Amino acid sequence: MSDTHLLAPCPDSPNCVSSLAKDEDRRVAPLQVAETRQASMTRLQALLRQLDRVEFDVVGQSRIQARFSSRLLRFVDDVTFYIREDGVVEVRSASRVGYWDLGASRRRVESLREQLAEQAPDARTSHYSLQDRHSPLG
């Protein structure tokens, strides 16, 4: 399967980010979770279980489909994780409603990255934790 088919592409609206996006406005770095697919899947599921207002389904051996609900208005955002054999996690976060999400999708991915790094900091996770960060406004 080509990389472009691992995650759905982001729409033209600024309410989505993806580690596979071609344009910098929508691109985030993939998550560096563990050294194998199974270890990354286990760590990612453990983190998602700890978070409030998150529901998720494991789809096959390499995909997690999560739904994050906002605190106040209960908007639902879809987050898809594709875990590669080497443990690298491709990620896409998109708002279901609205044209612009005020950077919520990017903040969500970066928050997940930070929480994963805090759980088990190692050279691989720490190296990528600062990669590809920039303001959602610019």
CATH of residue 90: 3.30.310.80
Q: Residue 113: is it exposed, middle or buried by C-beta count within 10 angstroms (0-12/13-18/19+)? A: buried
Look at 125 and 97; give whichever has higher pLDDT: 97
Q: Residue 17: is it exposed, middle or buried by C-beta count within 10 angstroms (0-12/13-18/19+)? A: buried
> Is residue 110, in this structure, part of any structural domain at all?
yes
> Is residue 134, in this structure, part of any structural domain at all?
no
The whole-number average pLDDT for the span 79-93 is 98
How far apart CA 76 and CA 10 sit, in angstroms, is 16
Tokens at 29, concatenated? 């770095």
Q: How many CB atoms lie within 10 A of CB 66?
A: 21
Whether residue 136 is predicted with pLDDT greater than 70 in this model: the reply is no
Q: Which of 108, 103, 120, 102 is nearest to 78 (CA)?
A: 108
Give kind and range of the element (H or E) at residue 46: helix 37-50
The whole-number average pLDDT for the span 73-77 is 86
> Is residue 84, in this structure, part of any structural domain at all?
yes
What is the count of structural domains for the chain? 1
Domain span at residue 40 reads 17-128
Share of the chain above pLDDT 70, in %: 83
Q: How many CB atoms lie within 10 A of CB 27?
A: 16
Sorting pLDDT into bands at 50, 70 and 90, what band is 123? very low
> Is residue 137, in this structure, part of any structural domain at all?
no
> Is residue 43, in this structure, part of any structural domain at all?
yes
Report the pLDDT value the prediction gives residue 37, as an integer from 0 to 100: 97
